[in-house]
Amino acid sequence: MRFTKLATMTAVVAAMFIGAAGTGSAVEGQPLVPRGGVNINDTRDVSAQKTDGEVFMEINNQGNLMFWSRSGETFAGQQRGNGWQNTRLITSLSRDRFLEINGANDLVLWTWTGSHYTAKVVGTNWAPARLVTGIHSHAFLEINDQGQLRNWYFNDNYDIVGYEQIGSDWHKTRAIAGKEFVDFVEIKGDNSVSEWFDWNNAGHSLQEIQFTGADFSNVRLIIGTDFYHFVTVRNDGLLVEYTLGTDGYYYEGLRGTGWGNARLIG
């Protein structure tokens, strides 16, 4: 049974502080270097951030729903629910809202009230959705099983008002991580990495930045948190954050170990 309420917000014990050993240390490996010397900082226009780079959600193999927030050079966890074993996909829209595609293929919006989450079913029959990622408090991207890339929108009442198809032939994409509107990182089927952005045309004029020699075959999960950051869970259980430098390179930082138990992040 899914629990949507917790009487108190329980602080997670020391074992749940990620990266307790080696907090903030560098991870062996080269930075992500944009091919052709493109610096995305130089292309950016005014756009809205998503979760402010400070938080993300996790569902672990026990079905616990975890909220992680930045604490110095690592993240601290707080359990906010259990019974989430059947969830297919999650993605954050903001610090207090995230989307779930559940086992019945409903699209559910969860909103944090300060003591518990409330649920609102905002869509049904989401079985074709293969990947989703938030890019704004009122927008998210979907790649479906037909390879279509769609940009979905909410109104101020968080009712879905529709989508725009902004791409096709995305069948081979392994993972996407939304950073903001419209900016996301893609792990391709061959484990190479690209960043896609379009500040002016809502994703209809996407431009690609490829990263020279990047190989994310060791990355199992990925989530974008804001324009400057995205977070990965590796096959060896390391939680690694990538931070955008002023030179347009992404630099790795170790944020935790023992993340082999994570099933979904978003």
> How do residues 30-61 score in pLDDT, each as one tens digit?
898 888 878 888 887 655 556 677 999 999 99
Give a yes or no: residue 41 inside a domain. yes
Read off the CATH number of the domain in which 189 is found: 2.115.10.10
Q: Using the 8-state DSSP alphabet, how is residue 147 labeled?
A: -
The confidence score (pLDDT) of residue 137 equals: 96
Tokens of 69: 């927030």
The confidence score (pLDDT) of residue 107 equals: 99
E strand spans, the chain: 55-60, 65-71, 74-81, 89-94, 97-101, 107-112, 117-123, 129-136, 139-144, 149-154, 160-167, 175-180, 183-187, 193-197, 207-210, 219-226, 229-234, 239-244, 250-256, 262-265
Give a yes or no: residue 92 inside a domain. yes
End-to-end CA distance of the chain: 22
The contacts of residue 123 (CB under 8 Å, 6+ apart) are: 106, 107, 160
Give a yes or no: residue 175 inside a domain. yes
Give a yes or no: residue 6 inside a domain. no
Could you tell me which residue, 10 or 165, shows the higher pLDDT?
Answer: 165
Between vectors from CA 224 to CA 252 and to CA 180, what angle results, nearest 5°?
A: 125
Cα separations (Å) of 40 from 50, 111, 135, 156? 18, 32, 17, 30
| Dihedral angle sign, alpha carbons of residues 56, 62, 64, 65 | positive
As beta bridge partners, residue 155 has: none
Give a yes or no: residue 63 inside a domain. yes
Q: How many domains does the chain have?
A: 1
pLDDT band at residue 8 under the 50/70/90 scheme: very low
Ordered alpha helix ranges (H), the chain: none
| pTM metric for this prediction | 0.87
- For residue 39, the enclosing domain spans 14-265
Of the ranges 39-48, 125-134, 176-185, which one carries the lowest mean pLDDT score?
39-48
241 and 253 Cβ atoms separated by less than 8 Å: yes
- Cα 8 from Cα 36, distance rounded (Å): 51
Across 202-220, average pLDDT: 96
Beta strands 129-136 and 139-144 are antiparallel
Cα separations (Å) of 170 from 81, 84, 173, 189? 33, 28, 6, 10
